[in-house]
C-alpha cells in the first residue's frame, strides 16, 4: 500500500535552515513526490516535485532558498534563511494509477 | 495565469445532496487531469476523486464510492463533484486541483476551496 509518512511538527529559528522529511512506504522507494505549502487560513500551494534521483522542479515563483533532495525512500524539503512567512503546514503528495496520496503534514514553526 | 475557482459549498442536512463546481481558466482545460481534494476542519489533506483529461477514466476514494461522482465539461472548462447521501464526516473544505499531466502526477495548481458543512 502506497503511504507517505511525515513528522507532525518541526521548528527552527528565523534565518536558520530546516529539512523536512517525507518517507515512502516499503516497495515504493522509486516514486517521485510533490511538496505543498499551506499557510494559515489559506489553500495549499504547490512548491516542487522531487524525483527519486534527487532532481527537483519548482512551481512558479518558488524562491531559490527552497530546495528538494532524495535518499532511498526519503524525500526532503530544505528551507534556508527561514522567514516568518514560512510558518505553515507542509504536505507531501504522490500518485499511483488513478489515485493520489498525501502525507499527514508537518507543521513548521519559525521561532 | 492558471485560475481554479470553486463554488457550490454550503450547509446541508445529512442525507441530502450538493453539487460543487470548479471554473478553470488560463490553461487548456481539456489537456489536464483534474482532482478533488478535501480537508476536514483541523485535519490534513485527503484525496477524493480524479478524472482524466478527456473524462474517459474516473476514480473516487473508497469512503465516497457510490455517493460522489466526478465529471467535467471541457466545452465549458468546468469540473464538477456531485455529492449525494452526505454524512457529517464529509464536512470539509473541498479543493479542485490540476495535475501536471493528462491524468496522474503532481498537483501543480489549487483552487481556493469551498466549504461544505453537513449538519442537521
pLDDT at A106 over 80: yes
Pairing of strands B45-51, B34-39: antiparallel
Is B57 within 8 Å of chain A by CB? yes
Residue from A36, A98, A103, A104 to probe the interface with B (highest B Cβ count within 10 Å)? A98
**Interchain proximity A44–B110, CB inside 8 Å:** yes
Instruction: Give tens-digit pLDDT for A33-76.
Output: 999 999 999 999 999 999 999 999 999 999 999 999 999 999 99
Is B45 within 8 Å of chain A by CB? yes
pLDDT at B82 over 80: yes
Report pLDDT for A98.
85
> Is there a contact between B104 and A95 (Cβ–Cβ < 8 Å)?
yes
Residues of chain B with Cβ-Cβ distance to A101 below 8 Å are 47
> Is there a contact between B43 and B117 (Cβ–Cβ < 8 Å)?
no
- What the block records as the C-alpha cell of B72 is 467535467
Q: How confident is the model at residue B102 (pLDDT cuts 50, 70, 90)?
A: confident
Report pLDDT for A46.
97
**Interchain proximity A91–B104, CB inside 8 Å:** no
DSSP chain A: ---EEE-SEEEE-TT--EEEEEEEPTT-TT--EEEEEE-TTS--EEEEEE-TTS-EEE-TT--TTEEEEEETTEEEEEE-S--GGG-EEEEEEEEETTEEEE---EEEEE-
> Is there a contact between B64 and B89 (Cβ–Cβ < 8 Å)?
no
pLDDT at B113 over 90: yes
* Burial class of A25 by CB neighbour count within 10 A (0 to 12, 13 to 18, 19+): middle
Beta bridge partners of A60: none
Q: How confident is the model at residue A5 (pLDDT cuts 50, 70, 90)?
A: very high
Residue owning grid cell 477524493? B48
**Interchain proximity A102–B45, CB inside 8 Å:** yes
Residues of chain A with Cβ-Cβ distance to B70 below 8 Å are none
pLDDT at B53 over 90: yes
Of B45, B61, B99, the CB nearest to A44: B45
Phi then psi for residue A82, to 5 deg, are: -50, 135
Q: How confident is the model at residue B5 (pLDDT cuts 50, 70, 90)?
A: very high
Say how many CA atoms lie within 13 Å of B98 toward its Cβ.
28
Amino acid at each position: 500500500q502506497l503511504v507517505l509518512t511525515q513528522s507532525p511538527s518541526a521548528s527552527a529559528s528565523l534565518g536558520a535552515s530546516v529539512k523536512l522529511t517525507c518517507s515512502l512506504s516499503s516497495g515504493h522507494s522509486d516514486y517521485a513526490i510533490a511538496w505543498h505549502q499551506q499557510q494559515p487560513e489559506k489553500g495549499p500551494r504547490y512548491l516542487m516535485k522531487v524525483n527519486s534521483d534527487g532532481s527537483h522542479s519548482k512551481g512558479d515563483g518558488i524562491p531559490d532558498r527552497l530546495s528538494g533532495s532524495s535518499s532511498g525512500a526519503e524525500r526532503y524539503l530544505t528551507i534556508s534563511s527561514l522567514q516568518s512567512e514560512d510558518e505553515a503546514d507542509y504536505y507531501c503528495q504522490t500518485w499511483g494509477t488513478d489515485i493520489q496520496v498525501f502525507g499527514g503534514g508537518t507543521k513548521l514553526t519559525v521561532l | 495565469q492558471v485560475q481554479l475557482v470553486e463554488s457550490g459549498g454550503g450547509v446541508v442536512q445529512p442525507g441530502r445532496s450538493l453539487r460543487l463546481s470548479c471554473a478553470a481558466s488560463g490553461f487548456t482545460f481539456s489537456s489536464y487531469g483534474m482532482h478533488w481534494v478535501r480537508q476536514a476542519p483541523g485535519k490534513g489533506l485527503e484525496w477524493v476523486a480524479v478524472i482524466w483529461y478527456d473524462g474517459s477514466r474516473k476514480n473516487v476514494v473508497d469512503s465516497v464510492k457510490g455517493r460522489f461522482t466526478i465529471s467535467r465539461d471541457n466545452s465549458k472548462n468546468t469540473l464538477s463533484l456531485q455529492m449525494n447521501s452526505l454524512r457529517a464526516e464529509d464536512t470539509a473544505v473541498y479543493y479542485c486541483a490540476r495535475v501536471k499531466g493528462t491524468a496522474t502526477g503532481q498537483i501543480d495548481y489549487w483552487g481556493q476551496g469551498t466549504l461544505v458543512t453537513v449538519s442537521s
